[in-house]
Amino acid sequence: MTPPDEGTTRAARDPDGADAALARGGDAAAFERIYRRHAARVHSLARRLVGPGDADDGAQEVFIRVWEKLHLFRGDSAFGTWLHRLAINHLLGRGASLRTRWDREDEREDAHEMLAAPHGAGPGFSMDFENALERLAAGMREVFVLHDVEGYQHDEIARMLGIAEGTSKSQLHRARLILRRHLD
């Protein structure tokens, strides 16, 4: 029996890597396969970081960005890891240039928090966990998603968002307190 050649083996092991190499050469069909494999993850990330209203645009921008940056992928990490990190950076940066301080700091008492599930308001006010997550104030939502969904540590989050580590911790605590009312 003839052993598979090295390229075939590598492609089977990492279809993203093989398709990334083809896409780097201009193969749009290979890039579409990458899109199909990662669309759900990137779109879900976008929905959680920038909100459902902007998720389509955000996810679309991410894939266009990936296409533009394919030449920078060196293969030091799995392609999916590289793509996901690029997606996070892009989505965080998307609103950062216009995000003013009040977005993170003046919303310490967020009205959504008080209005989301008023005591005794009945089941009509309930919302599912994902919906509640998407309605958190931007600062809380970003920290919660990065820490509890994506698994980043507070020191990394502080660097990514340009905030103090203590702020990251307090935002996470507040987000969890709010979201516990919306456990399924």
Partner 1 sequence: MDSYGDRLTDYLDSALELPARVELEAHVASCAECTQALRELRRVKERAAHLADREPATDLWDGISAHLGGVRRTAPVARRRTFSFSAAQLLAASLALVALSGTGAWLLGRGRAAPVMTAATADSAPVPDASRNANVIPASLPSDRALGITAYESAVADLHRVLDAGRGRLRPQTVRVLEANLTAIDRAISDARRALRDDPASAPFLEGYLQQQMKRKLDLMKRAAAIASGASDD
Answer for the pair 103, 137: CB distance below 8 angstroms, yes or no: yes
Between residues 14 and 61, which has the closer beta carbon with respect to partner 1?
Answer: 61
Answer for the pair 24, 69: CB distance below 8 angstroms, yes or no: no
Q: Which two tokens stand for residue 105?
A: 């700091």
Judged by phi (left if over 0) then psi (alpha if -120 to 50, else beta), residue 151 lies in left
As measured in angstroms, the least distance from the Cβ of 83 to partner 1 is 13
As measured in angstroms, the least distance from the Cβ of 76 to partner 1 is 19
Between residues 8 and 180, which has the closer beta carbon with respect to partner 1?
Answer: 180
Between residues 12 and 39, which has the closer beta carbon with respect to partner 1?
Answer: 39
Alpha-carbon dihedral 61, 67, 73, 79, rounded to 10 degrees: 70
As measured in angstroms, the least distance from the Cβ of 17 to partner 1 is 17
Between residues 5 and 54, which has the closer beta carbon with respect to partner 1?
Answer: 54
Q: Minimal CA–CA distance to 61: which of 103, 18, 93, 25? A: 93
As measured in angstroms, the least distance from the Cβ of 81 to partner 1 is 15
As measured in angstroms, the least distance from the Cβ of 184 to partner 1 is 7
Collect all residues with Cβ–Cβ distance below 8 Å to 179 and sequence separation of at least 6: 129, 132, 133, 136, 144
Answer for the pair 46, 87: CB distance below 8 angstroms, yes or no: yes
Between residues 78 and 115, which has the closer beta carbon with respect to partner 1?
Answer: 115
The residues of the shown chain that bind partner 1, judged by CB under 8 A, are 24, 28, 31-32, 35-36, 39-41, 43-44, 47-48, 51, 53-57, 59-61, 63-64, 67-71, 95, 98, 100, 102-103, 106-107, 109-112, 114-116, 118-122, 124-127, 129-130, 133, 135, 144, 148-149, 151, 169-170, 172-173, 176-177, 179-180, 183-184
Collect all residues with Cβ–Cβ distance below 8 Å to 167 and sequence separation of at least 6: 104, 139, 158
